[in-house]
């Protein structure tokens, strides 16, 4: 596990980190942590090559001891990178100078800049994925509890932002939970299958190491605790693209929750609210406001994270053995995607763990259309006798009359002698009990919760 640095020197500044990053993820992907990850590669490479006999055994301890990012001038390395086109070139030069003597001659032996940069990123990505999986676990546990607690809390289901049919808030929470379950599984899968060392030398052949290249690569992978791929992947950016895509999918699942909560917090709806806190959600001019600031920041972060995914996908179409620009876009896009996804997760966790649910308002809103949300139920009850389409037309006409007259749908239908004769007074009245028209909701909630719990089970070794 990479330890994030304590410094403030981040590539994108710190002013907006409180909005679009978490402290842990920002530290993990700040400039010093990026440099340290590349230095970890250089130290591991020296140890691997010394073990295989490629470089003198005494060179490895000296190189390893010097691979400490706090000993280097980040600003100078950053400025010098412009001449070579990447950070590894000035880093290797500075590291070599810092070591000096005979050991300095063996720094970066047989490697190329992309080996250090890509392997360093993989070390950071491993820790970043672990942070996100941990956060999603907390979110999922909170949503699991909401789904169980509100399985019988009836509310209006909405399609095209209009009342559709009765649903339970537990089912809505189960839908959120299902998205988080899938996202966490994808992150875990990518961690297990996409991470790998990068080690191919100048053009992916390790020719400079003679017949010892494969042995060094295997030892290097063991040193870094990363998988050894079948071959170097300088020109195959699918591993990075898969990580980016997993982040985008995660951001989507989080953004869905945030958007639903923001809509439920609307004044005219008022069905659920982010947890209140001193100074949270206020307006600079309107003292009465309780804005959905957590959902807002989660949405903004999620949308930005998703917008970065195409950059990683585009980088897959690269030129020959090393790209001219595509690979370079990953250096900004992927760290930022990690920061943004973490920011969205942090906000959604607060929302999920402290969501205030107004069940009475949910029922009040459900009743607002005076039975119209149960029109489908009446239609299906009439269909065996009248036929589905005739029943549809009959109930549709009744709904229009109910709206025009400001009457309940039940009242209008009860005035229709044929309908009353078909369903009976008690039968018709029973159709307007929304609690009994939730279909397979309980089964769906149980299935979502079961999938989450199975995801929490430890995997066999």
pLDDT along the chain (461 residues), means of 10: 41 72 93 96 97 96 96 93 92 94 94 96 97 97 98 96 96 98 96 96 94 97 97 94 97 97 95 78 54 92 96 90 86 95 96 96 96 95 93 94 95 93 94 96 97 73 35
Tell me: do 235 and 313 sit in the same domain. Answer: yes
pTM of the entire predicted model: 0.91
Which pLDDT score, from 0 to 100, does residue 8 have? 42
Tell me: do 165 and 273 sit in the same domain. Answer: yes
Which pLDDT score, from 0 to 100, does residue 110 have? 94
Tell me: do 266 and 302 sit in the same domain. Answer: yes
CATH number at residue 394: 1.10.40.30
- Give CA–CA dist 111/94, Å, rounded: 16
How many domains are contained in the chain?
2
Tell me: do 274 and 383 sit in the same domain. Answer: no
Q: Residues 283, 368, 388, 453: which is the catalytic one?
A: 283
* Proportion of the chain in helix, strand, coil states, percent, rounded to 5: 65, 5, 30
Residue 32 lies in a domain: yes
Residue 178 lies in a domain: yes
Tell me: do 311 and 383 sit in the same domain. Answer: no
Query: Could you tell me which of 41, 329, 320 has the C-alpha nearest to residue 196?
Result: 41
Residue 5 lies in a domain: no
Which of the 8 DSSP states describes residue 204? Answer: T
Q: Residues 290, 303, 322, 361: which is the catalytic one?
A: 322
Tell me: do 344 and 391 sit in the same domain. Answer: no
Tell me: do 293 and 377 sit in the same domain. Answer: no
Query: Can 436 be counted among the known catalytic residues?
Result: no
Tell me: do 151 and 236 sit in the same domain. Answer: yes
Which pLDDT score, from 0 to 100, does residue 15 have? 82
Which pLDDT score, from 0 to 100, does residue 12 have? 47
Question: Tokens 């042995």 correspond to what residue?
Answer: 215
Tell me: do 388 and 335 sit in the same domain. Answer: no
- Give CA–CA dist 312/240, Å, rounded: 7
- Residue pair 133/192 in contact (Cβ under 8 Å)? The answer is no
Range of the domain at 347: 17-360
Tell me: do 103 and 190 sit in the same domain. Answer: yes
Tell me: do 398 and 346 sit in the same domain. Answer: no
- b/e burial code for range 3-35 (CB count within 10 A of at least 16 → b): ebbeeebbebeeeebeebbbebbbbbbbbbbbb
Which pLDDT score, from 0 to 100, does residue 276 have? 78
Query: Can 441 be counted among the known catalytic residues?
Result: no
Residue 452 lies in a domain: no
Three-state DSSP class for 409? Answer: helix
Residue 331 lies in a domain: yes
């Amino acid at each position: 596990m990479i330890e994030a640095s304590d410094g403030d020197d981040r590539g994108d500044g710190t002013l907006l980190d409180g909005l679009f990053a978490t402290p842990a993820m920002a530290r993990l992907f700040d400039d010093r942590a990026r440099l340290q990850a590349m230095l970890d590669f250089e130290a591991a490479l020296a140890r691997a090559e010394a073990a295989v006999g490629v470089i003198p055994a005494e060179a490895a301890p000296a190189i390893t001891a010097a691979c400490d990012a706090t000993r280097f001038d980040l600003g100078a390395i950053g400025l010098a990178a412009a001449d070579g086109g990447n950070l590894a070139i000035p880093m290797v030069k500075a590291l070599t100078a810092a070591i000096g003597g005979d050991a300095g001659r063996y720094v970066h032996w047989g490697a190329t800049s992309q080996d250090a940069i890509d392997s360093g990123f993989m070390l950071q990505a491993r820790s970043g994925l672990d942070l996100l999986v941990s956060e999603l676990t907390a979110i999922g546990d909170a949503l699991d509890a909401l789904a169980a607690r509100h399985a019988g809390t009836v509310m209006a289901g909405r399609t095209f932002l209009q009342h559709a049919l009765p649903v339970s808030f537990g089912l809505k929470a189960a839908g959120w939970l299902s998205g988080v379950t899938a996202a966490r599984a994808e992150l875990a899968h990518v961690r297990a299958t996409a991470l790998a060392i990068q080690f191919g030398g100048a053009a992916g052949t390790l020719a400079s190491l003679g017949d010892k290249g494969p042995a060094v690569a295997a030892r290097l992978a063991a040193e870094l605790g990363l998988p050894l791929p079948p071959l170097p992947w300088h020109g195959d950016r699918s591993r990075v693209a898969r990580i980016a895509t997993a982040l985008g999918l995660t951001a989507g699942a989080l953004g869905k929750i945030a958007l639903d909560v923001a809509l439920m917090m609307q004044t005219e709806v008022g069905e659920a609210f982010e947890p209140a806190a001193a100074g949270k959600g206020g307006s600079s001019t309107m003292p009465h406001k309780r804005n959905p600031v957590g959902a807002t920041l989660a949405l903004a972060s999620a949308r930005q994270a998703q917008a970065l995914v195409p950059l990683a996908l585009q980088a897959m179409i690269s030129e020959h053995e090393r790209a001219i620009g595509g690979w370079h876009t990953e250096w900004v896009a992927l760290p930022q995607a990690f920061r943004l996804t973490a920011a969205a997760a942090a906000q959604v966790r607060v929302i999920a763990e402290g969501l205030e649910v107004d069940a009475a308002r949910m029922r009040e809103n459900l009743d607002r259309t005076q039975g119209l949300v149960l029109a489908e139920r009446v239609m299906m009850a009439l269909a065996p006798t009248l036929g589905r389409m005739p029943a549809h037309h009959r109930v549709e006409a009744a709904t229009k009359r109910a709206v025009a007259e400001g009457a309940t749908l039940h009242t209008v239908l009860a005035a229709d002698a044929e309908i009353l004769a078909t369903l009976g007074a008690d039968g018709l009245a029973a159709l307007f009990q929304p609690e009994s028209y939730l279909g397979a909701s309980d089964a769906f909630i149980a299935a979502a919760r079961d999938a989450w719990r199975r995801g929490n089970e430890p995997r066999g070794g």
